[in-house]
Amino acid sequence: MKNIYKMQLKTIGAALLIVSAMVTRAQGKIRLPEKYKKLDMEAHRGGRGLMPENTIPAMLHAIDMGVTTLEMDMQVTKDGQIVVSHDANFNAGFTTTPEGDTLTKAEAKKRLLYTMPYDSIKKYDVGKKFYADFPKQEKIAVVKPLLKDLLTATEAYAKKKGVAVQYNIEIKSNPKGEGVSCPPVETFTDLAMQTILPFHMGKRLIIQCFDERALKIMHQKYPQVQTSLLIGDKEKRSLDEQLKSLGYTPEYYSPHYALVTPELVKDCHRRNMKIVPWTPDDFTTIKRLADMGVDGIITDYPDLFSQLK
């Protein structure tokens, strides 16, 4: 146990050194004008337009920028640990193998995190390679972190900075992938809560998911935790139909930004739900949503919030 703890401290310490070296190059802390003061600024995957996604340095950088919420994703490893990753497999776009090679898309799809122990996962770099989808992203050597290590780092860093950062964490359960790319949904949900609850975040924590099964389990077994229903851009059901299917009204509703209208915002607020759309990456859309009265915005480019006047 002592050796594991020392390794965790080394990982966190290295991340802190990376971020402190970058602070001088980072934009100044975001200051929202009075009109937008209550807007929840969420850094999607830590702000992947600027830093390698879902990594400790990305999250610490987002805290330095002044975001209010860190958004991230969870997957499960072969040895039953929660790793911070959007994809169930390695992404060929930004992954370097332990041997220093790149991966084809076909090769990357075969490297499922659920079939690999974390000791193997952490040998892959996910930050050095140029990522064409986000050309402005800072390039650093970094690995997919365990969620417990990331939360240890962000909580310590936020405390040092005198801020109380919030978390919006997605359970990446998949009905079609159970037993192949992820465990059964209840196992996934329980593992996630066993990792997160010891951090005692209270109302600073939101668990989000597209999979209604996971949210139903959260509502039944962990009612003290706030939840958010994620909705994709192809959704055809009405809000009434979505909530009827879910079986309860969550604290948050998080639709694709293209679905948001002033009427939807008002409808959510009538139901005492906060609405936090994802993932607009241009200032015009961010301002349009903010002016509609959404409660928060999830974006890959949290630096865009500084343009709100």
Q: Give the pTM.
A: 0.93
Are 249 and 224 in contact by the 8 Å Cβ rule? The answer is no
pLDDT digits 0-9 by tens, 294-304: 999 999 999 99
pLDDT score recorded for residue 197: 99
Instruction: Tell me how far apart the alpha carbons of residues 104 and 83 are, in angstroms, rounded to a whole number.
Output: 22
Radius of gyration of the chain (CA): 19
Q: Tokens standing for 266? A: 């008002």
For residues 147 and 56, what is the distance between their CA atoms, to the nearest angstrom?
Answer: 9
Q: Could you tell me which residues are beta bridge partners of residue 109?
A: none
Question: Once rounded to an integer, what is the mean pLDDT over residues 218-224?
Answer: 99
Tell me which fold the domain 2-24+32-89+129-307 belongs to.
TIM Barrel (3.20.20)
Least confident stretch, 3-17, 97-111, 174-188: 3-17
In this prediction, residue 25 has a pLDDT band, given cuts at 50, 70 and 90, of very low
Report the C-alpha gap between 229 and 214 in whole angstroms: 10
Q: What is the pLDDT, as a whole number, of residue 9?
A: 53
Q: Please, which pLDDT band fits residue 2 given cuts at 50, 70 and 90? A: very low
pLDDT in tens, 124-178: 999 999 999 999 999 999 999 999 999 999 999 999 999 999 999 999 999 999 9
Distance between CA atoms of 81 and 17, rounded to whole angstroms? 26
Please tell me the predicted confidence (pLDDT) of residue 282: 99
Largest CA distance in the chain: 55
- Does the pLDDT of residue 18 top 90, yes or no? no
Secondary structure of residue 234 in the 3-state scheme: coil
